[in-house]
C-alpha cells in the first residue's frame, strides 16, 4: 500500500489517512454516517419529549440570552465557583472543544478543501500550532478525565453518585483520547518528520517506541489496529450521545439559552387560574416544554443538594433527585441508580410511561413530604450550573397537591384558610393590624395627600409581639430622619405564603386586592419591612399590573445613614454576625445595605462560612414557618450552630421570619441570654444620638 503524499519534504503538513488501506477508509465513512444517523434520531426523540409540555415564550431578549449562554455555557462561571471541580470540568470541556475543532479541521482539510478546492488547510506554521494545541489539549483532557474518575469512583463523593453510566462515558472519552495519542505516536515513530517536536506528547511516546526497537512493520500494524479501534470508539461515542449523560453536551447550553432572562429569580410563573382545567402539575405533561428541557439538562452533579437546607436537615427532599425523577417520569433514559428507584413510593419503574399510560407524579414518583420540605430558598437554583429552576418545578407540584387534591400539612392549610378569611396567616382581626403603631404618630394614606414612603409592614411585624419591635424601630428611625411615611389602612397579606404553598388562586386574589388598594393613593415608594413582601410586590405584582417602586427598609436606612440624617453612636463594642435572608439576598442581591448600616455603629462584623449568595436558609420560607415536615434536625438550629462557631454577642437579621426562626433556635440552644437576636433596624434605633 502506497500513501498519496502531497506535502513537500520540507513543509510541515498533515498527511491524510496515513497507513490506512482503502477498505478501512470506506469503513470509516460508512460507520460514521450510520453513527451520525443514530445520533440524530436519538436527538429528535429527546426533543420530541420536551415539546410534549405546555407553551413557553422562548425568543424574547435575544442579546441577553446570548450573553448568558456565553457567560454560563462557555465561560462556565457557575461551574468555576468551586475551584477544584471547576478546573477539572474546564479541562474536560475545553479539551473536548479543542479536540473537536481539531477533528473538524482535519475533516475539512481531507474531505472538502483538498478534493474540492485543491487547497491544503493543515500545512506550514498553522499545522505546527495545530499539533501543539491538540497535544496540550489531549494531555489535559486525559488528566482531567482521570481525576473525574477518581473523584466519582475513588473518593466517592456522595453528591456525585457512582452510577455505571458515568463510568461508561468517562472511560469511553479516556480511551478515545488515549488511542488518538497512540496513533499519533506510532505515525511519528515511522515518519520522524523534522517538525515532530511540535507534537509534544505524541513525539515523547514515539521516542519510547524507537527506544524499544520496534520495527516499521510492527509500528504500522499497531497503528492500523489502533486507528480501527479509535474510530470505532468515536462511532460509539456519537451514537451514544442521546442515550447517555453525554447528552448534556446538547441540553446544558440549550437550557441556559432558553432560561427566561426577563422574569426575576424571585418571581414564580403565574397560571391563568380562571381558565385552566387542571391546577398545577399532576404529570410531566403539565409542565412547560422549557421545564421538561430542564429535566433533561441535569448533569447529575449534585451541587443543588449539597447546598439544600432541607436535605442538610435530614428530610427526604433532594433537589437532584427531584429533577432526575421528573426526567425519569418524562421518559428520559435514566441512570442505573438503585437507591433512586427504591426512593420512589411505588419502588420505581422501568420508564416514566408504563404501557402507554402517563405516570402520576404524586404517589408513583414522589411522596408529598418531598414537596413540602422545600423552603424555596433558591440555593439550588443559584448553584445549578445549567439554570434548572427547581423551585418552580416544586411549586407547580405543590399547586396540584393544594388546589386539586387539598393534600397539604394541617398547619399550612390553616394558614391559607386564615388568609382567605382575615387577610393574614394567623387569623388575627384586620381591625388590629395597625395596633402596633398606636402612639407613634404615623398617619394612614389619604387620597390627594402624597408621601415619600408607604410603609408596608407585613403580617409578621403587624401581629407578632416580638417583630412589632422591629416595626416600631423602623418608624423611630424614619421620624428621626424627617422622612414622610404613611401606612396603608387596607393592607393585607401580600399573598407570598399562598403562592409558595401552591394556592395560586388565593395568591392572585390577594395580589389584585392589594394592588387596587395601593393605586388609590399617591406615593413615591413602597418600603417593606419583610423581604417576602419586598420580593412579592417588587417582582410578582407587576404580573398583575402592580408596577411600583419598592425598597426594603435596609436600603432606606443605609442611605439615610450615608446622607448623615441618622447620627449614630459609633462606639458599639459588639461582635455581630449577620444572617442573610434568602428572599432579600439571593433572590434580590441586597447584601451590603444592612451590613453597611451595622458597620456604622462600630460593631465588629463576623461572617458565617455560608454568607451572602451562599447564605444558609433560616428554615422559615416556602410556608415552613406554618408547618412541620419530618426531619432529623431543624434548619434554624443548624444555622444557629453555624453562627455560634464565631462566638458572637449578637445575631442580626433583616427579616421577621428569620428573626422568629433564629430567636427560636437561640432559646432551644439555651443561648438567648448570651447571644441576642435582633433586626439590624433595632440596633440602629438603639444607637441613634
Q: Model confidence over 260-317: pLDDT tens digits?
A: 888 899 999 998 888 777 899 999 999 999 999 999 999 888 899 999 999 999 999 9
What's the pTM value of the predicted model, to 2 decimals? 0.89
Cell of 190: 515511522
Residue 6: pLDDT band with limits 50, 70, 90: low
The pLDDT value given to residue 1 = 35
Which residue in 642, 667, 676 sits closest to 574, CA to CA?
676
Fold category of 562-687 in CATH: Rossmann fold (3.40.50)
What share of the chain in percent tops pLDDT 70? 94
Cell of 372: 413540602
Rounded to an integer, the average pLDDT of 149-154 is: 78
**Cα separation of 26 and 631, whole Å?**
62
The pLDDT value given to residue 528 = 96
406-460 confidence digits (pLDDT tens): 999 999 999 999 999 999 999 999 999 999 999 999 999 998 888 889 999 999 9
The pLDDT value given to residue 611 = 95
263-405 matches 22-255 in CATH topology: no
The pLDDT value given to residue 458 = 95
Which residue in 74, 62, 624 sits closest to 376, CA to CA?
624
- Domain residue spans of the chain: 22-255, 263-405, 424-557, 562-687
Please tell me the CATH code under which domain 22-255 is placed: 1.20.950
* Highest mean pLDDT: which range of 572-581, 621-630, 632-641: 632-641
184-204 confidence digits (pLDDT tens): 999 999 988 888 889 999 999
H helices, E strands: number in the chain: 28, 10
The pLDDT value given to residue 335 = 56
Which residue in 407, 581, 403 sits closest to 498, CA to CA?
403
424-557 is classed CATH 1.20.1410 = no
Which residue in 498, 514, 494, 497 sits closest to 506, CA to CA?
498
The pLDDT value given to residue 275 = 78
The pLDDT value given to residue 357 = 55
Rounded to an integer, the average pLDDT of 546-562 is: 95
306-309's contacts with Cβ under 8 Å and 24+ in sequence apart are 306/159, 306/383, 307/379, 307/380, 307/382, 307/383, 307/614, 308/379, 308/380, 309/375, 309/377, 309/379, 309/616, 309/617, 309/619, 309/635, 309/638
User: How far are the Cα atoms of 442, 448, 513, 592, 663 from residue 519, in angstroms, in the given order?
Assistant: 20, 12, 10, 31, 36
- What average pLDDT does the chain have? 89
Rounded to an integer, the average pLDDT of 92-119 is: 86
**Cα separation of 267 and 269, whole Å?**
6
Provide the pairing of β-strand 650-653 with 575-578.
parallel
Please tell me the CATH code under which domain 263-405 is placed: 1.10.1060
370-393 confidence digits (pLDDT tens): 999 999 999 999 999 999 999 999
Provide the pairing of β-strand 523-528 with 650-653.
unpaired
* Owner of C-alpha cell 387542571: 278
The pLDDT value given to residue 537 = 97
Amino acid at each position: 500500500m502506497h500513501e498519496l503524499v502531497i506535502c513537500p519534504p520540507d513543509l510541515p503538513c498533515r498527511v491524510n489517512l496515513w497507513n490506512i488501506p482503502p477498505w478501512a477508509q470506506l469503513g470509516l465513512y460508512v460507520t460514521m454516517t450510520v453513527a451520525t444517523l443514530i445520533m440524530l434520531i436519538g436527538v429528535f426523540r429527546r426533543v420530541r419529549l420536551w415539546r410534549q409540555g405546555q407553551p413557553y415564550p422562548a425568543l424574547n431578549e435575544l442579546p441577553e440570552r446570548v450573553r448568558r449562554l456565553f457567560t454560563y455555557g462557555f465561560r462556565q462561571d457557575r461551574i468555576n465557583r468551586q475551584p477544584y471541580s471547576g478546573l477539572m470540568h474546564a479541562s474536560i470541556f475545553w479539551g473536548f472543544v479543542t479536540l473537536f475543532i481539531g477533528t473538524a479541521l482535519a475533516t475539512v482539510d481531507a474531505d472538502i478543501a483538498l478534493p474540492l478546492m485543491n487547497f491544503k488547510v493543515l500545512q506550514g506554521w498553522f499545522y505546527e500550532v495545530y499539533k501543539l494545541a491538540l497535544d496540550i489539549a489531549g494531555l489535559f483532557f486525559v488528566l482531567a478525565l482521570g481525576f473525574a474518575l477518581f473523584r466519582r469512583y475513588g473518593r466517592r463523593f456522595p453528591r456525585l453518585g457512582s452510577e455505571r453510566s458515568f463510568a461508561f462515558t468517562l472511560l469511553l472519552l479516556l480511551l478515545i483520547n488515549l488511542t488518538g495519542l497512540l496513533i499519533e505516536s506510532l505515525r511519528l515513530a515511522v515518519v520522524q518528520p523534522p517538525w515532530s517536536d511540535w507534537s509534544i506528547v505524541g513525539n515523547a511516546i514515539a521516542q519510547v517506541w524507537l527506544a524499544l526497537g520496534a520495527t516499521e512493520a510492527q509500528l504500522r500494524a499497531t497503528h492500523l489496529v489502533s486507528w480501527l479501534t479509535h474510530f470505532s470508539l468515536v462511532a460509539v461515542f456519537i451514537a451514544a450521545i442521546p442515550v447517555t449523560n453525554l447528552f448534556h453536551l446538547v441540553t446544558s447550553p440549550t437550557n441556559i439559552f432558553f432560561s427566561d432572562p426577563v422574569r426575576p429569580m424571585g418571581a414564580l410563573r403565574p397560571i391563568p387560574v380562571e381558565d385552566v382545567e387542571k391546577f398545577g402539575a399532576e404529570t410531566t405533561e403539565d409542565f412547560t416544554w422549557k421545564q421538561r428541557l430542564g429535566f433533561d439538562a441535569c448533569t447529575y452533579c449534585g451541587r443543588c443538594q449539597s447546598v439544600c437546607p432541607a436535605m442538610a436537615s435530614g428530610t427526604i427532599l433532594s433537589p437532584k433527585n427531584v429533577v432526575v425523577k421528573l426526567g425519569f417520569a418524562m421518559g428520559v433514559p435514566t441512570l442505573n441508580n438503585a437507591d433512586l428507584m427504591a426512593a420512589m413510593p411505588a419502588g420505581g419503574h422501568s420508564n416514566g410511561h408504563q404501557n402507554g399510560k402517563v405516570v402520576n407524579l404524586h404517589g408513583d414518583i414522589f411522596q408529598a413530604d418531598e414537596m413540602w420540605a422545600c423552603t424555596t430558598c433558591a440555593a439550588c437554583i443559584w448553584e445549578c450550573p445549567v439554570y434548572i429552576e427547581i423551585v418552580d418545578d416544586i411549586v407547580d407540584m405543590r399547586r396540584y397537591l393544594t388546589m386539586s387534591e387539598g393534600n397539604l400539612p394541617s398547619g399550612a392549610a390553616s394558614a391559607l384558610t386564615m388568609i382567605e378569611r382575615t387577610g393574614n396567616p394567623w387569623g388575627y382581626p384586620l381591625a388590629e393590624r395597625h395596633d402596633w403603631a398606636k402612639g407613634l404618630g404615623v398617619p394612614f394614606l389619604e387620597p390627594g395627600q402624597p408621601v415619600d414612603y408607604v410603609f408596608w409592614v407585613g403580617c409578621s411585624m403587624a401581629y407578632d409581639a416580638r417583630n412589632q419591635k422591629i416595626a416600631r424601630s423602623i418608624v423611630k428611625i424614619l421620624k428621626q430622619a424627617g422622612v414622610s411615611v404613611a401606612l396603608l389602612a387596607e393592607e393585607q397579606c401580600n399573598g407570598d405564603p399562598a403562592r409558595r404553598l401552591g394556592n395560586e388562586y388565593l395568591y392572585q386574589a390577594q395580589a389584585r386586592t392589594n394592588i387596587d388598594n395601593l393605586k388609590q393613593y399617591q406615593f413615591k415608594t413602597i418600603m417593606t419591612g419583610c423581604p417576602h413582601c419586598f420580593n412579592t410586590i417588587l417582582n410578582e405584582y407587576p404580573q398583575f399590573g402592580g408596577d411600583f417602586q419598592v425598597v426594603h427598609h435596609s436600603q432606606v436606612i443605609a442611605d439615610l445613614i450615608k446622607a448623615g440624617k441618622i447620627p449614630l453612636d459609633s462606639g458599639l463594642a459588639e461582635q455581630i454576625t449577620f444572617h442573610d435572608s434568602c428572599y432579600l439576598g439571593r433572590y434580590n442581591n441586597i447584601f451590603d445595605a444592612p451590613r453597611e448600616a451595622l458597620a456604622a455603629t462600630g460593631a465588629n462584623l463576623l461572617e458565617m462560612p455560608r454568607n451572602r449568595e451562599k447564605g444558609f436558609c433560616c428554615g422559615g420560607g416556602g410556608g415552613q414557618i406554618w408547618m412541620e415536615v419530618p426531619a432529623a434536625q431543624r434548619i434554624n438550629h443548624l444555622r444557629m450552630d453555624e453562627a455560634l462557631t464565631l462566638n458572637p454577642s449578637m445575631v442580626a437579621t433583616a427579616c421577621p421570619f428569620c428573626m422568629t426562626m433564629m430567636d427560636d433556635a437561640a432559646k432551644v440552644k439555651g443561648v438567648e441570654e448570651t447571644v441576642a437576636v435582633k433586626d439590624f433596624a433595632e440596633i440602629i434605633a438603639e444607637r441613634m444620638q
